[in-house]
Chain A
Amino acid sequence: MRKADIVVDTKGMACPMPIVKAKKALDGLASGQVMEVLSTDKGSVNDFQAWVKQTKNELLEHAEENGVYKFYVKKV
């Protein structure tokens, strides 16, 4: 298990809320800190990969367990 500095739970939320919530949380982090995002939105794997790349942060890891997607994003 990775350790995250903040956990953003967007389970049950629809597009565009997971990204919006993640953005808000990431804004509050310092460079090098890690955010964990939980989502049940089926589009979220593609969404988070694109978003992390474009905003020039780092997607450390993502996984799916029982329909819940987990993303670890490191703020660069």
Chain B
Amino acid sequence: MADKSTIVLFSGDLDKAIAAFIIANGAAAYDHEVTIFFTFWGLNVLRKDKAVKTNKGLLEKAFGWMMPRGAKKLGLSKLNVGGLGPQMIKHVMKKHNALSLPQLIELAKEQGVKLVACTMTMDLLGLKQEELIDDLEYAGVAAYLGDASNGKVNLFI
């Protein structure tokens, strides 16, 4: 049986999401079965960048407006400077031939990394399946623990 690695991505910060996806892609290259479990602000990484028409209440809609819409819109955990920080870091990453977050997500999918959206926090934040990118699984804490119990590396980011 293959070794497993799991990451809980709780954060919706660009830098932390990049770190999570680099580790996930590295673990996949180690032949691990890799799961990233997205919960709370981490779910924003999975949002489609275009608005999707949904049937939601005002409070849920407000959450949708206030949160970043997808991997390209995330802020930095430090030195965000009103969105200037992310532009700077993206520039520097390009210079160093580092993959962007959207590229890292594509690579993770290609390598068979399992991307799991936490359904309970989707409800809290008012996020619907049709607002998130394709090829996700939907589950809760039990499914996560099922993977993590056999995990060699389990991280919370």
Write the residues of chain A forming the contact surface with B, with a CB cutoff of 8 angstroms: 12-17, 19-20, 22-23, 51, 54-55
Contact = CB atoms under 8 A, between A and B. Distances in A.
Interface string B19-51: 000100110111100000000000000000000
B29 A51 contact: yes
In the complex, which range does the number of interface residues on chain B fall in?
A: 10 to 19
A22 B29 contact: yes
Interface string B96-107: 111100000001
Nearest to A17: B99
Given A12-B97, A14-B98, A17-B99, A55 B31 contact: yes
A19 to B, nearest CB: 4
Contacts of B98: 14-15
A17 B97 CA distance: 10
B154 interface: no
A51 B26 CA distance: 9
A16 B22 contact: yes
